[in-house]
Amino acid sequence: MSLGLDTLRAEPAATPRLPPPVERTATRDALANPADRGAASLSAADERERVARRYLAAFATAFVAFFGLVWIYTALMPMAFLTRDYPVWIAKRSLLSSCDLGSASFFGDSRAMAGMDPRALPFPSSNFALSGSSPIESYFVVKRALLCAHRPKVVVIAYSSGKFIEDDDFWNISARVGILNYADIRDVQRKSAALHDDEIEALRPSDHLAPSVRAALFALRFPPFYFDSLVNGYVAGRYMHNRAAERQVLADRGHAFFGTAPGSDAVAAEALLTFKASPLIDAYFTATLSALAHDKIPVVLMSLPINDATCKLMNPALRAGVARYLASVVAAHPGTRIAGPAMPCWPDRLFGDAFHLNAAGAAAYTRLVDHWLQPEINPVTGSSRVVER
C-alpha cells in the first residue's frame, strides 16, 4: 500500500465555476438536491431518504452516547485526570467534614499552604489554605468550618496582596475543582451584580455563557470544560499520583509544598502589581470577619514573605497599600488583629519557587506563627500586644 504520496498529485479542482449567465441558459439553474435529477424515480429517492433517516438516528445516538460516556467519566472520576488542586481540596474537605479544625485553623492562598506547617506546631492545627484562592473562597470554607460544634481557638487568614486585588483563578481552580459549588458561585454572581463589579464574569468572556448556565455546567462537570485535563492527564494517568497526594495532604493536616528547590530567585507577580482592593473581594473578606466575630472566634491576619528577587523589583507602595487596607479592616472588626509585618522580604534560599517557601522557609515561618499565636493558644501566659518581628 503506498503511503498515499500519490495524493500529492491530486488534481486541483478548477476555481469554483459559476453557472453561465442566466439570459443564455435559463434552465441551467444549479439544484441543491441530487435526488431531484430527472432520472431518479420516486421510490429510489424515498429509499435514499429512508437510509438517511436511519443514519441520522444512528449518528445522533452515537454522538449522545460518546458525549454521555465522557460526561459520566468527568463527573465520576475527577481523581483520575484533574490536577493536584483536586486531591488537595478533597483532603481538606475531609478534614472539614470530620470537623478536625485543630486549635488553630489557617486560611489563605497557596503561599499559606506551603508556608504554614501544622506538623511543626506544638498544638493541633489544620491548614485550609487553597491554591489560587482569594478571600471569596475562604468565606465559603470558613462558613463550612463554622458548622462544626468544635471551635478553633484562633483563625489565621493570610493572603498575598494580589488576592485582594483580583481572584483570577476563580474559574480555573475554584469552580473547576469544585471548591465552590453551584450555590456558592451563584452567591458570588449575585453579589457581583449588586456591587456592579463584574470582574468575575470578565475572566471568562470567550465562552459567552450566561453566568447561571456556566455555574451549572461547572457543577455538573460539563466535559468540554475538562477536556484539557483529560488530554494532559492522559485520560486516567493522574490517578495514582493524585491518590498519593490526597493521602499525603491529609496526613500533613492540609500542608503541601509547591516548588522544592533549595532556593529561587525567580520573580513573582508582586513585581508588577499596584494595590487596589476589589469591592467584591472586600465584601467577602469583611463578611468572613463578621461571621467569625459573631461566633466569638479571634482572627489573626498574617502575611507570607516575598523573595528578595521580587522585592527588588516591587513597588513599595504595594506594601504600604496592603498594610493600610489591613489596618482599616482590623479597625472595623474588633476581635481581629495583625501579626507580623506586611509582605516581609526573605532570602531567596528559603523559597522553592518564585512564590512559595521551601522546607527551610516553611520551618522558619511556622516558628514565627507559633510565637505569634501564643496570645490565643495560651491566653494565660501570652500577651495581647501586637507582636512585631
Pick 10 or 380: Cβ nearer another protein: 10
Min dist CB 80 to another protein, Å, is 15
Q: Does 39 participate in binding another protein (rule CB under 8 A)?
A: no
Q: Does 53 participate in binding another protein (rule CB under 8 A)?
A: yes
Q: Is 132 helix (H, G, I), strand (E, B) or coil?
A: coil
Residues 297-356 that bind another protein (CB under 8 A): 354-355
Cell of 356: 512559595
Q: Which residue among 7, 41, 43, 381 contacts another protein (CB under 8 A)?
A: 7
Stretch that binds another protein, among 112-120, 220-228, 337-345, 376-384 (CB under 8 A): 220-228
Q: What are phi and psi of 149, to 5 degrees?
A: -70, -45
Min dist CB 245 to another protein, Å, is 12
* Secondary structure in 3-state letters for the chain: CCCCHHHHHCCCCCCCCCCCCCCCCCCCCCCCCHHHCCCCCHHHHHHHHHHHHHHHHHHHHHHHHHHHHHHHHHHHCHHHHCCCHHHHHHHHHHHHHCCCCECEEEEECHHHHHHCCHHHCCCCEEECCCCCCCHHHHHHHHHHHCCCCCCCCEEEEECCCHHHHCCCCHHHHHHHHCCCCHHHHHHHHHHHHHHCCCCCHHHCHHHCCCHHHHHHHHHCCCHHHHHHHHHHCCCCCCHHHHHHHHHHHHHCCCCCCCCCCCCCCCCCHHHHCCCCCCHHHHHHHHHHHHHHHHCCCCEEEECCCEEHHHHHHCCHHHHHHHHHHHHHHHHHCCCEEECCCCCCEECHHHECCCCCECHHHHHHHHHHHHHHCHHHHCCCCCCCCCCCC
Q: Does 388 participate in binding another protein (rule CB under 8 A)?
A: no
Q: Which residue among 19, 38, 122, 316 contacts another protein (CB under 8 A)?
A: 19
Q: Does 38 participate in binding another protein (rule CB under 8 A)?
A: no
Q: At what angle do helices 316-332 and 279-294 cross, to 10 degrees?
A: 40
Pick 260 or 384: Cβ nearer another protein: 260
Min dist CB 312 to another protein, Å, is 19
Q: Does 212 participate in binding another protein (rule CB under 8 A)?
A: no
Q: Which residue among 51, 183, 193, 194 contacts another protein (CB under 8 A)?
A: 51
Pick 67 or 324: Cβ nearer another protein: 67
Q: Does 41 participate in binding another protein (rule CB under 8 A)?
A: no
The C-alpha cell 500577651 sits at 383
Q: Which residue among 66, 76, 261, 295 contacts another protein (CB under 8 A)?
A: 66
Pick 228 or 295: Cβ nearer another protein: 228
Residues 110-129 that bind another protein (CB under 8 A): 110
Q: Does 65 participate in binding another protein (rule CB under 8 A)?
A: yes
Residues 140-199 that bind another protein (CB under 8 A): 169, 172-173
Closest of 361, 301, 387, 371 to residue 121, by C-alpha? 371
Stretch that binds another protein, among 60-68, 116-124, 144-152, 331-339 (CB under 8 A): 60-68
Cα 34 to its chain centre, rounded Å, is: 53
Q: Which residue among 126, 131, 161, 192 contacts another protein (CB under 8 A)?
A: 131
Q: Does 138 participate in binding another protein (rule CB under 8 A)?
A: no
The sign one gets for the Cα dihedral 147, 148, 153, 156 is negative
Q: Which residue among 38, 43, 59, 91 contacts another protein (CB under 8 A)?
A: 59
Pick 85 or 184: Cβ nearer another protein: 85
Q: Does 226 participate in binding another protein (rule CB under 8 A)?
A: yes
Q: Which residue among 40, 146, 235, 269 contacts another protein (CB under 8 A)?
A: 269
Q: How many residues bind another protein (CB under 8 A)?
A: 74
Pick 38 or 316: Cβ nearer another protein: 38
Stretch that binds another protein, among 51-59, 94-102, 137-145, 273-281 (CB under 8 A): 51-59
